[in-house]
A and B are shown apart, each in its own frame.
Chain A
Amino acid sequence: MFGLSQKDTKFLLIVVALTLLTPILLNPFPSESGLAQFNAGYPALMQRFAIYGLMAIGFNILFGLTGYLSFGHAAFLGVGSYAAVWMFKLLSMNVLPAIILATIVSGLFALVIGYISLRRSGIYFSILTLAFAEMSYRLAYSVFTPITNGETGLQLTLSDPRILDSAPEGGSLPVPTLFGLDMNASWTANVGPWDFTFNIGYYFCAVIAILGFYLSLRIFRSPFGMMLRAIKSNQTRMSYTGLNSRPYTLAAFVISGMYAGLAGGLLAAMDPLAGAERMQWTASGEVVLMTIMGGVGTLMGPVIGAGFIKYAENIFSKINESVLHGWFGWLPDGLEDIVVWFFARFVGEGWHLTLGLMFMIVVIALPGGLVEGGQRIARWVRRKSGRETAADETTKPAE
């Protein structure tokens, strides 16, 4: 089905099912219980999971297949966001033109940067991309303020022209829509003590992320993907066979840049503001970390890595000492203080520590990232139970 092998089709269907059920899967705890703190099924975070997952999928096409490590992918995300917000300001609040323009603009940007940077390989390539991205960030923050609105970030205002839309009623800002479907509209279902929020914006992002995933699956399985993998394993040998590898890597670079731009456009569509920090090297680094953490070159890995990091950022940082006191209130007083003190080092203001430790533990204990770690465990379990079946690994590494 869909031009995929049976196994891939099954894999894709699983991914689609998981994505559609996300609002339920991420809210496993009743909303009045103490563990509700760990629920992640609210629209803004689910949207980010889909968006950053999409970005990581795109990044993986470049890094996972060709081995070229770009340290400047956040620049494409930022450019995409700016393009989308400008569309909202000038043309219409409909999200389609915004994300289309975001993809095109970032693709052009990637073409220029990729054309120059791909003249070098290895760490020289990484530093070239880093240099371009940092220049974009710094200029967007200061000199290009008329276009980017600098530190404050580009926002919608009431006085924007928006030539296709009628003037907004009242004095409130319009909301991004898809032909009348507001991106921030939600339905909340109360199932017993649970609350599940189904948000239009999330499903819009999810559909696009699934399309992006499908495309990346096709690329991984295509002759083009084969060629990219050949570049990773031995570029010299490829050039001896008379093949010029540059057009292939450039194509991969532009495609992954367009994924990042699309992700940026979606970010702006969910929350119409584009800030310069989106392009800082730390943001580029984050994508790299997501990919490595999940598993370089695996299909699902980068998405899982993205989920992990975004979850830590949004959930752990919000657990403060009074929450901890709520959890451990049943302990004797002296012990409670010690336990709370200990956990407070890892959450709230200390959530960076958790993130750092998580990076180290994953890379030490699960070489090859979360996906490969999962596979190892699965294999080990299978061997233990003596049911050595034919490898049924839906998420096979690229190599």
Chain B
Amino acid sequence: MDAILLQILNGLDKGSAYALIALGLTLIFGTLGVVNFAHGALFMIGAFCAVTMQRLFSLSYEVVDETQTDFLGNPLKVQVPYVEGWFGEGAGTTLIDWSVPLAIIATIPVMMLIGWAMERGLIKHFYKRPHADQILVTFGLAIVLQEFIRYFFGANPIQTPAPSDYQGTVQLTQAIAYPVWRLIYFFFSAFVIAGVFAFLQFTTFGMVVRAGMADRETVGLLGIDIDKRFTLMFGIAAAVAGLAGVMYTPILSPNYHMGMDFLVLSFVVVVVGGMGSLPGAVAAGFLLGILQSFASMNEVKSLIPGIDQVIIYLVAIVILLTRPRGLMGRKGVMED
């Protein structure tokens, strides 16, 4: 029983990341009708916002310490972070310690800006082009973004720990202790998802966007400049992917190709959820996360070897064959 509860928690956690990425991807599909292969790269850039924050806080000047030596036997140059010099050692260390949560503040504007620039500078010209062209151009963009990150941060995974107060576990029941940060990640995702839905549901802006998703032409005929709103939606989608990335860094040390690892998976999630359906994307994210966790259990694996490797794809096939448009897909979206 405890084992199952633990796996549900793990699944919700995995599912949070899937759901957030898929949510952004669906927003772009649904509003702009663009197949965005660069969405994984946006997730990756979000994660590197946290790394950048950590690096910024740890920007240091060198102090030569004659008492210690480096690997060549020369006097050791000790790095002292500027923030420690400015705010005192205690406050400085706390800032560095909190760089991941603090990065959220920077991530939202940065990702909105990147999203805006991407849409205005590139994607805009591809609305009327075939999906094949969209795939090629966004895939090319993803590679370029990836190589930029690699130039600045290298190819090795980079350790970006959570604040030390949130590194341990919390005792949920007698037998279950669960990492605090994973719980935070789940609640954070739930909060972001709720925020996006509330925004679409309860604001006039959101109403127009929803109307535009359903029937772009009619909304345009009503004299509403839907394009401008869609640009903002692209920014929001990018920010959602970025937030998913920032908060995920303590769980998964970021490296430059993590976006590609999530790309295929998030497409599967979106399609299983049903094209153009936001609730579908979220539901599919959590569903696949939980199923993947269950498939990783030893009991299941000993029954069907290798099931944890293929479960997501197997479920995708079964769902697409039994429900033609995924869990909650609308008719006619991306069907031809």
Residues of A within 8 A of B (CB): 67, 69, 116, 119-124, 127-128, 130-132, 134-135, 138-139, 142-143, 235, 281-282, 285, 288-289, 292-293, 296, 345, 350, 352-353, 355-360, 362-364, 367
Mark interface residues in B103-141 (1 if CB within 8 Å of A CB, else 0): 000000000000000000010010001111101110111
- Interface segment, one of B195-203, B235-243, B291-299, B315-323: B315-323
A359 and B313 in contact, given A127-B268, A292-B135, A367-B129 (Cβ under 8 angstroms): no
Let me know if B334 and A123 touch, CB within 8 A.
Answer: yes
Let me know if B324 and A120 touch, CB within 8 A.
Answer: yes
Let me know if B309 and A143 touch, CB within 8 A.
Answer: yes
Main secondary structure of the interface of A (DSSP, over half): helix
Residues of B176-223 at the interface with A, using a CB-CB cut-off of 8 Å, are: none
CB distance from B295 to the nearest CB of A (A): 12
Let me know if A121 and B136 touch, CB within 8 A.
Answer: no
Q: Report B-chain residues with C-beta under 8 Å of the C-beta of A121.
A: 335-336
- Interface segment, one of B60-68, B83-91, B143-151: B143-151
* Total count of chain B residues near the partner, CB < 8 A: 43
CB distance from A282 to the nearest CB of B (A): 8
For the complex of A and B, the 5 pairs showing the least CB-CB separation, nearest first, are A359-B140, A356-B143, A143-B306, A131-B313, A122-B335
Report which of A69, A131, A139, A352 forms a contact with B146, defined as CB distance below 8 A: A352
A135 and B139 in contact, given A124-B326, A127-B320, A364-B125 (Cβ under 8 angstroms): no
Let me know if A356 and B313 touch, CB within 8 A.
Answer: no
Let me know if A128 and B268 touch, CB within 8 A.
Answer: no
Listed A/B pairs (28) with beta-carbon separation below 8 Å: A67-B336, A120-B321, A122-B334, A122-B335, A122-B336, A124-B320, A124-B326, A127-B268, A127-B320, A128-B316, A128-B317, A128-B320, A131-B313, A131-B316, A134-B313, A138-B310, A143-B305, A235-B336, A293-B136, A296-B130, A296-B132, A345-B151, A352-B147, A357-B140, A357-B144, A359-B140, A360-B137, A360-B141
Across the two chains, which residue of chain A brings its CB closest to B144? A356
Let me know if A292 and B136 touch, CB within 8 A.
Answer: yes
Across the two chains, which residue of chain B brings its CB closest to A138? B309
12 other contacts beyond A356-B144, A360-B137, with CB at 8 A cut-off? A69-B132, A121-B335, A122-B336, A123-B335, A130-B313, A131-B268, A134-B264, A282-B260, A293-B136, A352-B146, A356-B147, A364-B125
Report which of B137, B306, B317 forms a contact with A132, defined as CB distance below 8 A: B317
Report which of A124, A285, A355 forms a contact with B324, defined as CB distance below 8 A: A124
Report which of A120, A142, A281 forms a contact with B309, defined as CB distance below 8 A: A142
Let me know if B136 and A127 touch, CB within 8 A.
Answer: no
Q: Report B-chain residues with C-beta under 8 Å of the C-beta of A352.
A: 143, 146-147
Cα distance A47–B142 in the bound complex, in angstroms: 30
CB distance from A195 to the nearest CB of B (A): 34
Q: Report A-chain residues with C-beta under 8 Å of the C-beta of B334.
A: 122-124
Q: Report A-chain residues with C-beta under 8 Å of the C-beta of B125.
A: 364
Q: Report B-chain residues with C-beta under 8 Å of the C-beta of A360.
A: 122, 137, 140-141, 144
Cα distance A282–B140 in the bound complex, in angstroms: 13
Residues of B within 8 A of A (CB): 35, 122, 125, 129-133, 135-137, 139-144, 146-147, 151, 260, 264, 267-268, 271-272, 275, 305-306, 309-310, 313-314, 316-317, 320-321, 324-326, 334-336
Let me know if B133 and A285 touch, CB within 8 A.
Answer: no
Q: Report B-chain residues with C-beta under 8 Å of the C-beta of A288.
A: 132, 135
Q: Report B-chain residues with C-beta under 8 Å of the C-beta of A367.
A: 129, 133
Cα distance A357–B260 in the bound complex, in angstroms: 17
Q: Report A-chain residues with C-beta under 8 Å of the C-beta of B122.
A: 360
CB distance from A71 to the nearest CB of B (A): 9
Report which of B133, B144, B306, B325 forms a contact with A139, defined as CB distance below 8 A: B306
Across the two chains, which residue of chain A brings its CB closest to B129? A367
Q: Report A-chain residues with C-beta under 8 Å of the C-beta of B267.
A: 127, 130
Let me know if B325 and A358 touch, CB within 8 A.
Answer: no
Let me know if B325 and A292 touch, CB within 8 A.
Answer: no
Report which of B143, B151, B260, B335 forms a contact with A124, defined as CB distance below 8 A: B335
Cα distance A134–B268 in the bound complex, in angstroms: 11
Let me know if A363 and B320 touch, CB within 8 A.
Answer: no
Report which of A116, A122, A142, A293 forms a contact with B306, defined as CB distance below 8 A: A142
Cα distance A345–B150 in the bound complex, in angstroms: 11
Q: Report B-chain residues with C-beta under 8 Å of the C-beta of A282.
A: 260
Q: Report B-chain residues with C-beta under 8 Å of the C-beta of A357.
A: 140, 144
- Best-surrounded residue of B140, B141, B151 (most CB of chain A within 10 A): B140
Q: Report A-chain residues with C-beta under 8 Å of the C-beta of B147.
A: 350, 352-353, 356
Let me know if B139 and A359 touch, CB within 8 A.
Answer: yes
Cα distance A121–B272 in the bound complex, in angstroms: 14
Q: Report B-chain residues with C-beta under 8 Å of the C-beta of A131.
A: 268, 313-314, 316-317
Cα distance A127–B315 in the bound complex, in angstroms: 12
